[in-house]
Structure 1
Amino acid sequence: MKNKNIKYLLIVWLTVILTSCVSSEKMVYFQGNQDNLSHEDYEIYEPKIQKGDILSINVSAIDKGAAVPFNLYESTSTTEPIPITYIVDNDGEITFPVVGILKVEGITTKILKQQLTKTLAEYLAKPIVNIRLVNFKVAVLGEVKTPGTYLIPNERISVIEAISLAGDLTIHGKRKTVMLIREQGGKRAFITLDLTDKKIFNSPYFYMAQNDVIYVEPNKTKLNSSAVGANAGIILSSISSLISIILILNR
């Protein structure tokens, strides 16, 4: 009976070492004032064009023939011609047909559309301009179910939506210190976001910019389990030896 008690105590001891309790405050999202109904104003986010961005620009008009010079195509031998895209250079500029050099860095596609439409009115009757950011993508790394890079077609995504695309955080992800990495104007910023606080919806970083990176750090439980996993053989062997010694001494 005494030996059975010793075995039981050792099992309990091992279980306590290998596991830990996590409070709900560290796991539950959007904590705070839990009114039955609340309304908050929010600003419609529009990303600004950056160096290295790729723009798709299409121009049409009442006279379709007159709009042809403003739409360049890349010819291929096997498929239909493909509309060319415009890469924002290191000076924050693109070269547009007929019009020439346009400064586009730091403005939204909406503003560029308005400016270009006004300029093209000198050449076309009632021009229609459509502009899209082709390379709007974000990356989600760390303790999420499906880390990776995600292409965003509508140029607007929140931190919550990006994490959802990655399958949500795993149980081992730190929800209070999610890191957002952003590069703008030649500088890199590291912003810490707390997913457990409802105030995240009012954060100026709630909506992501193109090429943003989200990193979810593993919690202590994951780090400890990783250490245990790497040394599992040694730990189990040591425990087995310890049990054997205790049983011998208690015969």
Structure 2
Amino acid sequence: MWKQRVNRNTLIIPLLLIGMVFMNSCAKRNLTYFQDIGDEQDYVLNNGPFEEPKIVPGDLLDIRVSTLSPESNVLFNYGIVSTDESGEAQLSRDPIVRGYMVDPDGNIEFPTLGSVKLGGLTREEAKVYLKSELASLVIEPKIEIRFLNFKVTVIGEVNRPSSFVVPTERITILEALGMAGDMTAYALRENVLLIRETPEGKVIHRFDIGKKEILSSPYYYLKQNDVIYVEADKKKLNQANVNPTTIAAATIASSLIVALIFNFNDIFVR
């Protein structure tokens, strides 16, 4: 009778190689923002230029008019003028809560004035224009305009992908990512995509969140309907593309290797 023992190294070495490959594939990613900012206590960097957003088709506007005439206030802000038995104007409790929708031609339908073109104007420019249009109808009108549907969308490798309606049009890409719960550990921080609709067509810009240049970029401040897409790194994409059958086979193979290592004496001894 003879015994032949298999050298333990013949099993251990391949396993170590497999482990090294696995550890390399799971190497830590650098999740730090603005990696190239120095250690100085005070670091001055100019923000990207902020441009007042212009009114575009599809915008929903809240327009409030204040005049010296109660009847005019009721008409312009509530759309309906009703009178009581004495003939005095009554305040309707049915305000235009849905706002004024800008049509594809950039127009809104405003009480008394009819079709008014506001497309292409900023809020301040639209206020001046409406004030001039109403000046012949009422005395010293005051206009307030705000966006009701100024929204940005954040999708991809973030914790809470969604569309967000923001109360102010002054919002940065960092604030939008914060509203989405920040990027996940799988996010490709070197390649954050911004998609913007313009009259000339779609504009696509790529950010590297790890670089300080984002703070001075002309795309640092977002505009209405901007879409931010955070791409997943290749390791997660590869995991998503792996066939479930392949995963099951790999799991079974790993179990067999472990069984061989811990029981090689019983298996290979004759």
Please tell me the TM-score bracket, short chain as reference.
0.7 to 0.9
Q: Which residue of 1 aligns with 2:238?
A: 224
Alignment of 1:1-251 (within 5 A): 3=8, 6-7=11-12, 10=15, 13-14=18-19, 16-17=21-22, 19-24=25-30, 27-34=31-38, 35-42=40-47, 43-73=49-79, 80-83=93-96, 84-185=98-199, 187-227=201-241, 230=244, 231-242=246-257, 247=264, 251=269
Gaps of 5+ in 1: none
Residues 36 and 61 of structure 1: CA distance in aligned 2, closer, same or farther (over 3 Å): same
Q: How many angstroms does 1:200 deviate by?
A: 0.5
- State the AA in 1 paired with 2:248: G
Q: How many angstroms does 1:23 deviate by?
A: 5.0
Question: For the residues of structure 2 that align with 1:32 and 1:121, how far apart are their CA atoms?
Answer: 55
Residues 229 and 158 of structure 1: CA distance in aligned 2, closer, same or farther (over 3 Å): farther
- State the AA in 1 paired with 2:99: T
Paired residues of 1:139 and 1:213 also in contact (CA < 8 A): yes
Question: For the residues of structure 1 that align with 2:141 and 2:188, how far apart are their CA atoms?
Answer: 51
- State the AA in 1 paired with 2:119: E
Residues 243 and 227 of structure 1: CA distance in aligned 2, closer, same or farther (over 3 Å): farther
How many residue pairs get matched? 246
- State the AA in 1 paired with 2:130: L
Question: For the residues of structure 2 that align with 1:119 and 1:53, how far apart are their CA atoms?
Answer: 21
- State the AA in 2 paired with 1:121: A
Question: For the residues of structure 2 that align with 1:73 and 1:121, how far apart are their CA atoms?
Answer: 18
The one-character-per-residue Cα deviations of 1:6-48 (angstroms, maximum 9, x if unpaired) are: 3586266246326432453xx2212334243233444444221
Question: For the residues of structure 2 that align with 1:52 and 1:208, how far apart are their CA atoms?
Answer: 17
**Bigger Rg, structure 1 or 2:** 2
- State, as a whole percentage, how many aligned pairs show the same letter: 34
Q: How many angstroms does 1:142 deviate by?
A: 0.7
Question: For the residues of structure 2 that align with 1:138 and 1:9, how far apart are their CA atoms?
Answer: 51
Q: CA RMSD in A?
A: 3.0
SS of the counterpart of 2:178? helix
Q: How many angstroms does 1:123 deviate by?
A: 2.0
